[in-house]
Structure 1
């Protein structure tokens, strides 16, 4: 089995229905070690809330499957670690000022989405699904998208990008395990988009507007409005006042 410099196993497929679905199948059978499941093409890729994730040949689609350490109620903080790892990986190709992080789990390049993250708790295991627009930017979505190819000519291959992402993820994961969420939180906030500005947050049963003040110690978004402060653990964020 192929391994990355960290020792993490990597499985590279020409095509899968979904790297996240394959991770679920592996978790059902049991896995002995962390591994990346990477597909050059997906026929049924999906993101948050089951939404279809469009992927073209050359884009990165991968899922990291492993048994995390630490309390299960803190596992949502790993989305911030992955977002930072993605930003640091993209830093190797672009100026870091071009890359910003959008709560809860999007990576933005010059104000447009270029990567998304999906955490799925599989009991003993955690599956972290990641999609990065390296060569293709989907059209017709409710938000702007972009791709790395618009900024550089020599776009990394999915497996080489995985190696960089793996390196940065485990370095940040060790910080989280040793020192807790505090340093991860501060690093994320340094790269966050929208802090101190008016945002709208759409929840399953309501829509809220207010000032994005930051994160609490769990990673929840702090929203201040005329009604006071509210901690939001999940939702869709839109910038500026909404009609």
Structure 2
């Protein structure tokens, strides 16, 4: 059964609320969803805009795993968002860009931010923040963005409302979380690969202190990206902004 969903009218950030609850001794599992975020954040501290009607929610849970293993939940998140978006749009429009950006007709429709902290008795609390553009795309974005409402299939007259979207996402996340917990990362990785084009083509990786150009050469067993450089050497990319194709 999916974790319960707590729906709030307004919050600074669902991830921030999850952190506060974890530090106060509450470890879930609990989804925290907000109809409005005033200080939403993306990766590397970027602002995450949330137009009215879109979805922002964070799963707070406790894991008896290492931070490295817990990072695999970013792939679980991408699969859950993929399932949510694909339910409302025509087949073939949804894809995943390494590691967890879900694209709709080639444009970004969601974002994932995973944060964690150690527990006194061992293990981790983890906050998995997910934003999905249900009704509108933010206007000031680094990359082209879109929303489910712009690509509805003939079976849907409108995108899901906030509460429906929150519950649907929680259900799909619970499915992939169960796969991860009972079967390990490999089936999650394979499902993710099936939905992620561009893993064997031109690729640019913008890292903290350098930008690398080369050819994507698939992914490692832990989900890290293999990048083959012009001199034939291989770099393993575990985090960074990655662009596939010739326009990085």
**TM-score grouping bracket, smaller chain normalisation:** over 0.9
Q: Which residue of 2 aligns with 1:105?
A: 100
- Residue 177 (1) aligns with residue 181 (2): yes
The counterpart of 2:17, out of the listed 2, 14, 22, is: 22
The counterpart of 1:210, out of the listed 211, 214, 230, is: 214
Q: Which residue of 1 aligns with 2:3?
A: 8
Alpha-carbon distance change, 159 to 69 in structure 1, aligned in 2, over 3 angstroms:
farther
Partner SS state of residue 67, structure 1: strand
Partner SS state of residue 165, structure 1: helix
Partner Cα distance (1:7, 1:31) in 2: 17
Q: Give, in angstroms, the shift of residue 151 of structure 1.
A: 1.6
Partner SS state of residue 108, structure 1: strand
- Name the TM-score, length of structure 2 as normaliser: 0.91
Q: Give, in angstroms, the shift of residue 38 of structure 1.
A: 0.5
Partner SS state of residue 144, structure 1: coil
Q: Which residue of 1 aligns with 2:151?
A: 151
Q: Which residue of 2 aligns with 1:193?
A: 197
- Name the TM-score, length of structure 1 as normaliser: 0.93
Partner Cα distance (1:140, 1:229) in 2: 35
Partner Cα distance (1:60, 1:89) in 2: 12
**How many correspondences in the alignment?**
238
Alpha-carbon distance change, 148 to 242 in structure 1, aligned in 2, over 3 angstroms:
closer
Q: Which residue of 1 aligns with 2:131?
A: 131
Q: Which residue of 2 aligns with 1:84?
A: 79
The counterpart of 2:41, out of the listed 46, 53, 57, is: 46
Q: Give, in angstroms, the shift of residue 10 of structure 1.
A: 1.6
On the 8 A contact 2:13/2:41 being kept in 1, the answer is yes
Q: Give, in angstroms, the shift of residue 7 of structure 1.
A: 5.0
Q: Which residue of 1 aligns with 2:121?
A: none
On the 8 A contact 1:185/1:215 being kept in 2, the answer is no
Q: Which residue of 1 aligns with 2:56?
A: 61
On the 8 A contact 2:2/2:170 being kept in 1, the answer is no
Partner Cα distance (1:141, 1:54) in 2: 8
Partner SS state of residue 7, structure 2: strand
Partner SS state of residue 163, structure 1: helix
Partner Cα distance (1:53, 1:25) in 2: 19
On the 8 A contact 2:198/2:245 being kept in 1, the answer is no
Q: Give, in angstroms, the shift of residue 154 of structure 1.
A: 1.4
Q: Deviations over 1:169-228 (max 9, x none)?
A: 111112112221111111111110312210100000111011112110111001112231
